[in-house]
Structure 1
Amino acid sequence: MDTPGDLSSANDRLLRLGRLILKELREILRDRRTIVTLVLMPLLMYPLLSVAFKQFFVSQLNAVKTTRYRLALDDDTRGHYFRELFRGVGMPVIDAGDDQAAAEYHGKSPLVEMGLQRNLADQLLNYDLHVALKVTAPAEIHADPQRNLALKVELLYREDWGASREAAVYVEKYLAMANEKFLEARLKVLRVSQPAAAIQVVRQPVEGEHSGESGAVSITAIIPFILILMTVTGAVYPAIDLTAGERERGTLEVLVAAPIPRMGVLLAKYVAVLTVALLTATANLLTMTVTVVVGGFGKMLFGETGMSAGGIAAVFALLLLFAAFFSAVLLAVTSTARSFKEAQAYLIPLMLVSLAPGILSLMPDVELSGLLLVTPLANIVLLGRDLLKMEASPFATLIVVASTLLYAGAAIGIAARVFGAESVLYSSQSGWSDLFRRPRVPQTTPTVTAATFCLACMLPAYILLFSLMSTWATDLMQQQIAGVLMTVAVFGGIPALACQMRGVRIAPAFRMPPRPLGVFLSAMILGGTFWVFSYEAVQIMQYLRGASFDDQSLEALREFSGKLKQLPLPLTLCTMALVPAVFEESFFRGYLFPALHTKTTTATTIVVSAIAFGLFHAINPSPLAPERVVSTTLVGLLLGWVRWRTGSTLPGILLHAVNNALVFVPVYFEQQLADLGIGTMHAQHLPVNWIVGGSVCVAIGVVGMIWATHQPPNRTKVASSGA
């Protein structure tokens, strides 16, 4: 329990830190260049962009890029009918592929190339056609236009393609002319009953998977891209001035000599840079919103709903997240510079590297999936685009936010290491090699910075390898082999490399716990019965969310179960239960857990490591991803508690392996479980006696674990128990 003296000391530290933050903010905000970047740039830029948008982008979206339209029908007789019909009203029409006729045409009206295609909608979606005609009634028509009294025609076109829209208007105009000419001829014969229009046309837009992205550039993605660029611009000057600028002026040494830790100095500078970046983001977002609303671009950019307040708020939250990440990156880079000019030279390649993924995200038909989910800047731009259009998926949002937070934490850790080096405080040259220099003295535990950096590397590596595995592995055996290799590389290789580079000893984390018989027996009991709570948690989450497996997902699950039964059970248990347990526990409880425990309390360490464990199991997209996060996080809490009680990862590995095995063993004994009233292919609650029995067994396992570890060698800090 905290004493009054401890609370007073903590308050004093916070007050000193607050005064230091206010000092940094006053210094940077009273600079004229900061105010110009913060206020005047948005006021000047967005009105100019609105003028450019009206003159260039709108004309690009609506302009016809060619004087030749490609039109098709799905029947030769109908093609002949409409060819003669259009020629009768003066439309310049030729057969598709007739290059000679096209070369000889010198008229001002667009030339129509008419051909025959079977899959009209697919051709439109692939941009092979501008427009298509589909006769819906009658089923059979005569090739001679004079022999048909009335037709019903669908005019197929792309709503999201300017040239297709113009082609639809162009063809519709000539169909109206044909109607008028046809009626004039028919009305001369008074005994003929004739509809109001001989050819009744209905315009039918064809929407594809990526409808809404038009032209050569995703216009909607430009808005968040510009906002992010302006946010970066606002943070560049403060980051340089508060680090390299102070070193050049000789004031940094005086600041460090003050009675405050170096991390406090860095935190104050980080808060100042982040504040300026957020003020710049706010000014840009407000000015952009006013420009879009006043200019009337809302529906043009974001659809019929226009720009929504919820979308703007979500984009601002993303800007805050990105500003937190990029401010740390800027501080890490500028802290290594000895002068203002040197810092500017460092930032040029950084800005170029940052622009590349953002420009990639502006390309049409780019989805927020795969590796783009964890690509810095590109994921923020694409998620901002989807949020403005109210089309962002919860899964993509979760991955983008989690990955950016990891990158921000890793960047802050790197900035702390660079800023804390002695060479930064004086005139000596520091370099990035200092970050990777192996300590002379072996380390007993990894640092929080190293653990965060590992997570930041593991997340994109996991997604990349999973995508490659999905492409390479065609059958279940190959998928299991690829899964084992991916698990070893991500959860074993990256942490092992980090331990090697930082001189962290791995063996202590795998030492035998005291009273191993009781510990391992309790771990087996917990691993074999805790699944009852995980299973019921999934059922409760499904009920609260109203989610369930659809017929397609259930069919895929049955197919997977059928393939799994063809493999030997020991092979399945080895590849899908034992290997993941060994390497996942080696990282989450053998590497991440002690790193967190050196800086935080036991409860915080257990919770944070469990959440990270749960989120990693939700990377694969699934309709039940939230349920999987909850169930795996519960297991992670139990594994973290066991790690703390025993001081070793070995009991957790056993518990984890048994828990994993019970996920796949029921597939091999589906009929026996069905006889007991337990279904494996559809969601249902467990019988009450199963829940009661499982709860009793879990309680026995917990009591047994407490009894077996009631006198641990050092339970106050895992730091002394090894990595």
Structure 2
Amino acid sequence: MRITAVFFSYLLICLVLAALLTYPVMATGYLDEDPQRVMGRLAQVFILLGLWPFLKRLQLADRRSLGYGIQGHAFRRAVALGWFEGVAILLMLALALVALEIRLPDADLELWPYLAKKALQALIGGLLIGVLEETFFRGALYTAIRRCDGVASAVVWTALLYMLVHFMKPSGLPEGVPFDWAGAWQMFGSVFIDVFQWKHLSSMAALFMVGVFLALVRERTGHIAWGIGLHAGWVFVIGVTRRMTDGNPEAPTAFLVGSYDGIIGWLAAVWIGLLALVFWGWTRRERSEEA
């Protein structure tokens, strides 16, 4: 719990710095972006700038602690294998959503070159997200908690913080509210209010199970390469699916997806949770047989 609070505090400080800087940056007139987008990007910049000193302070700034403690060729092979498995896992979910008419094929979709471009963006974006998030959550954070409190705490707390961070994002101001210093702090406050909205519950459950699964993979493999591949493959399928299909809120089973991205929700939580359970049982049996 204490280590998780330290990592959460680091993220919170970066967000506070972003809130302090957003209004002066927007006041320059050089950026033609929504204020909430600027605040979010500034927070990410502060996180990246301060990450290495932060990790060094916690004695986590080494390859093994960050989950990179295997040879380069083995690491790359594990990422590639994980990516294909991640695509297969989320593709089954996407096909189920289409079969249930929760998502409908986009009749106006331009297959080429639009889809190819979006697929490439999803591939690159997925790999970047996989590397950054796995290094932070299943690398540094997992190692820090496991050293102090053991496997169970590391799995639960990394999954919980991973889930929360996905919803701690600045939202736009209500119509008619000007963006000034007061508006900037109102946006900052919305980060914590939005987390507790009931509509996010199913998406939170899904992301928590994703975090549990990835943490179990980290524990069993001893590195984050496979997790990076899985993560990147999931992001890829979500990105492509959202561009090839449209959400159908009128479907009788529409409640199975949440508000986060129209893909994950209760169905994803059950599917990923089941896979996590099977994976843990299978790897435990293998280890007992080896012993």
Q: Does 1:616 align with 2:165?
A: yes
Q: Check the 8 A contact 1:454/1:498 in 2, yes or no.
A: no
Q: Check the 8 A contact 1:528/1:662 in 2, yes or no.
A: yes
- SS of 1:510's equivalent? coil
Q: 1:567 to 1:488 in 2, by over 3 A?
A: farther
Max radius of gyration: which structure?
A: 1
Match of 1:523 in 2: 82
Match of 1:661 in 2: 236
Match of 2:248 in 1: 682
Q: 1:613 to 1:502 in 2, by over 3 A?
A: closer
Q: 1:632 to 1:529 in 2, by over 3 A?
A: farther
Match of 1:512 in 2: 70
Q: 1:567 to 1:517 in 2, by over 3 A?
A: closer
CA distance in 1, matches of 2:118, 2:49: 27
RMSD across aligned positions (CA)? 4.9
CA distance in 1, matches of 2:79, 2:158: 22
Match of 1:627 in 2: 202
Match of 1:590 in 2: 139
CA distance in 2, matches of 1:682, 1:463: 37
Superposed CA deviations along residues 318-352 of structure 1, whole A, max 9, x for unmatched, are xxxxxxxxxxxxxxxxxxxxxxxxxxxxxxxxxxx
Match of 2:56 in 1: 500
Q: Residue type matched to 2:33 in 1?
A: T
* Shift in Å, 1:643: 0.5
CA distance in 2, matches of 1:488, 1:575: 18
CA distance in 1, matches of 2:93, 2:167: 15
Match of 2:212 in 1: 637
* Shift in Å, 1:601: 2.6
Normalised by the size of structure 2, how large is the TM-score? 0.57
* Shift in Å, 1:659: 1.0
Superposed CA deviations along residues 471-523 of structure 1, whole A, max 9, x for unmatched, are 64538xxx6xx799657535543331112345543212212389769855663
Q: 1:597 to 1:473 in 2, by over 3 A?
A: farther
* Shift in Å, 1:600: 1.5
Q: 1:634 to 1:529 in 2, by over 3 A?
A: farther
Q: How does 1:285-300 map to 2 (within 5 A)?
A: none
Q: How does 1:185-334 map to 2 (within 5 A)?
A: none
Q: Does 1:458 align with 2:16?
A: no
CA distance in 2, matches of 1:499, 1:643: 19
Q: How does 1:16-415 map to 2 (within 5 A)?
A: none
Q: Residue type matched to 1:668 in 2?
A: R
Q: Check the 8 A contact 1:458/1:494 in 2, yes or no.
A: no
Q: Does 1:702 align with 2:279?
A: yes
Q: 1:465 to 1:666 in 2, by over 3 A?
A: farther
Query: Of 577, 583, 587, which aligns to 2:126?
Result: 577
Q: Check the 8 A contact 1:577/1:660 in 2, yes or no.
A: yes
Q: 1:462 to 1:657 in 2, by over 3 A?
A: farther
More helix by share: 2
Q: Residue type matched to 1:598 in 2?
A: R
CA distance in 2, matches of 1:659, 1:486: 26
CA distance in 2, matches of 1:453, 1:464: 17
% same residue: 17
Listed as ranges, the gaps of 5+ residues in structure 2 are 98-105, 172-193, 257-266
CA distance in 2, matches of 1:515, 1:579: 19
Q: Residue type matched to 1:615 in 2?
A: L
Q: How does 1:474-485 map to 2 (within 5 A)?
A: 474=33
Q: Check the 8 A contact 1:522/1:702 in 2, yes or no.
A: no
Q: Residue type matched to 2:137 in 1?
A: F
CA distance in 2, matches of 1:486, 1:588: 20
Higher RCO, 1 or 2 (CA under 8 Å, sep at least 6)? 2
CA distance in 1, matches of 2:241, 2:40: 21
Match of 2:155 in 1: 606
Q: 1:610 to 1:573 in 2, by over 3 A?
A: same
Q: Residue type matched to 1:661 in 2?
A: F
Q: Residue type matched to 2:133 in 1?
A: E
Q: 1:644 to 1:658 in 2, by over 3 A?
A: same
Match of 2:223 in 1: 648
* Shift in Å, 1:586: 0.9
Q: Residue type matched to 2:127 in 1?
A: L
Q: 1:658 to 1:484 in 2, by over 3 A?
A: farther
